[in-house]
Amino acid sequence: MEDLDRIEQLSAAIDEIIRSSEVMVSWSLAVIGGSILTIISNSYNRPLNLYGRLIYLLFIPGWIYLGQSLFVFQELSGFGIGAKLQPSYENLKATVLQLNTLYASQSEKLLTGFIFFGAWLGIYLTFWITAKKFITEEQ
């Protein structure tokens, strides 16, 4: 009976890790979508000169890291599904350890991607506060 309780606890841990990982996927997709809309939109003030527009290059490494975060989720969910098909205590225990490693990797990649988007936002806000000339949709 004790093994059954431990199996249920490990199974619940796997479900929680996957659920938390899905939240990170939602954040990744929201930021990717928002950044793409930022690039194709013309209804906001943006830098007039080439050097000012170079800040958008920060999106590229941000997208790469967020994409890697999405890829890790696929691997993570695959391990979780596989563990449910073989629900022995030893298998679930090994799976939880593997999922913890993948979850940490996904979280690290997500946060690194956010750093690039945060850097873009900081530079853009500095530009927005200090710039004298803008490109707006009327121009």
User: Is 70 a domain residue?
Assistant: yes
Nearest 5°: phi and psi at 48? Answer: -85, -40
Q: Which two tokens stand for residue 114?
A: 């956010």
| 67-96 pLDDT tens trace | 999 999 999 999 888 888 888 888 888 999
User: Is 52 a domain residue?
Assistant: yes
| pLDDT of res. 139 | 47
| pLDDT of res. 82 | 87
Residue 40 burial (CB count, 10 A): 6
User: Is 14 a domain residue?
Assistant: yes
Q: Which of 3-12, 86-95, 108-117, 128-137 is predicted least confidently?
A: 128-137
Cα four-point dihedral sign 18, 109, 126, 57 = negative
Of all helices (H) and strands (E), which one includes residue 122?
A: helix 89-130
Average the pLDDT over 33-50 and give the result: 81
- Does the pLDDT of residue 2 top 70, yes or no? no
Query: How far is it, in rounded angstroms, from Cα 139 to Cα 127?
Result: 18
Can you tell me whether residue 129 is helix, strand or coil? helix
User: Is 138 a domain residue?
Assistant: no
Closest CA to 74 of 22, 16, 14, 109: 22
Residue 43's Cα: distance from chain center in Å?
26
Q: Which domain holds residue 6?
A: 2-130
User: Is 98 a domain residue?
Assistant: yes
| pLDDT of res. 133 | 63
Query: How far is it, in rounded angstroms, from Cα 33 to Cα 53?
Result: 19
Query: How far is it, in rounded angstroms, from Cα 81 to Cα 48?
Result: 50
Comparing 17 with 42, the larger pLDDT belongs to 17
- Does the pLDDT of residue 44 top 80, yes or no? no
How many domains does the chain fold into?
1
Please check whether residue 75 is in contact with residue 21, taking contact to mean a CB–CB distance below 8 angstroms. no
pTM metric for this prediction = 0.85
User: Is 54 a domain residue?
Assistant: yes
- Does the pLDDT of residue 128 top 50, yes or no? yes
Bridge partner residues of 46 (DSSP)? 135
Q: What is the mean pLDDT of the chain?
A: 88
User: Is 136 a domain residue?
Assistant: no
